[in-house]
Amino acid sequence: AQTVTQSQPEMSVQEAETVTLSCTYDTSENNYYLFWYKQPPSRQMILVIRQEAYKQQNATENRFSVNFQKAAKSFSLKISDSQLGDTAMYFCAFMKSTGNQFYFGTGTSLTVIP
Amino acid sequence: NAGVTQTPKFQVLKTGQSMTLQCAQDMNHNSMYWYRQDPGMGLRLIYYSASEGTTDKGEVPNGYNVSRLNKREFSLRLESAAPSQTSVYFCASSRRVVGPGELFFGEGSRLTVL
């Protein structure tokens, strides 16, 4: 079975600063996909960024980037120039390349302080 | 753009009552999912349907049944509700034909079982 661990239940960051959210996972698969999802107070989950395990280059989406360390099974999310709208719960997720199931971590609640 | 629509958004049940959560997507996605979200536990998969006509158990299927009525609709039924089923339920869908299928979520349904 696949497990996803987010060891930081809560974090805070000053507006305009940079914050990194941690995620580790456990799998015996070689090919898989990793995702970060954001859940704002409105509850609607939206995709922030995704990474394919076979790609060595770290994914970036505007102010969001990942540090993907395949050997260490680590997939952290860096948010640069934090904005008040980044306040949300962030979930790390894993999916096997051959499967249909998404496995989620327990989430990190991020608060951006003005 | 409707995306994933789930109803009802809120429901209060008494122990032993039954109810069905409805979910429909208009994106022609193959795969559909039901998750429950509980504090400190992240999202846990209840059931999923990889394609029309198939359903499979996830991590926490006990006490639930599902029906993939057609490609658009995937319902979740609680036959005899229990207080342990108090949770927020999310329906999601994914194209998942080739490559990492992004999950698209509904807005969630908050269920309270008294």
User: How confident is the model over A9-66, as pLDDT tens digits?
Assistant: 999 999 999 999 999 999 998 889 999 999 998 888 899 999 999 888 999 999 999 9
pLDDT of residue A69: 95
Asked if B17 contacts A86 with a C-beta cutoff of 8 angstroms, the reply is: no
Q: Which amino acid is at B51?
A: S
Q: Does A50 touch chain B (CB under 8 A)?
A: yes
The alpha-carbon gap from A39 to the nearest alpha carbon of chain B, in Å, equals 10
- Kindly list the residues from chain B whose CB atom is less than 8 angstroms away from the CB atom of residue A46: 105
pLDDT in tens, A90-108: 999 998 887 778 899 999 9
Taking chain B, what is the end-to-end CA distance rounded to the nearest angstrom? 35
Q: Does B42 touch chain A (CB under 8 A)?
A: yes
Name the band, by pLDDT with cuts 50, 70 and 90, for residue B17: very high
d(CA B98, CA A6): 28
- Asked if A44's CB is within 8 angstroms of B45's CB, the reply is no
Name the band, by pLDDT with cuts 50, 70 and 90, for residue B99: low
Instruction: Decide which of B50 and A43 is more confident.
Output: B50
d(CA A66, CA A8): 16
- Asked if B92's CB is within 8 angstroms of A100's CB, the reply is no
- Kindly list the residues from chain B whose CB atom is less than 8 angstroms away from the CB atom of residue A44: 105, 107-108
pLDDT of residue B100: 64
pLDDT of residue B37: 94
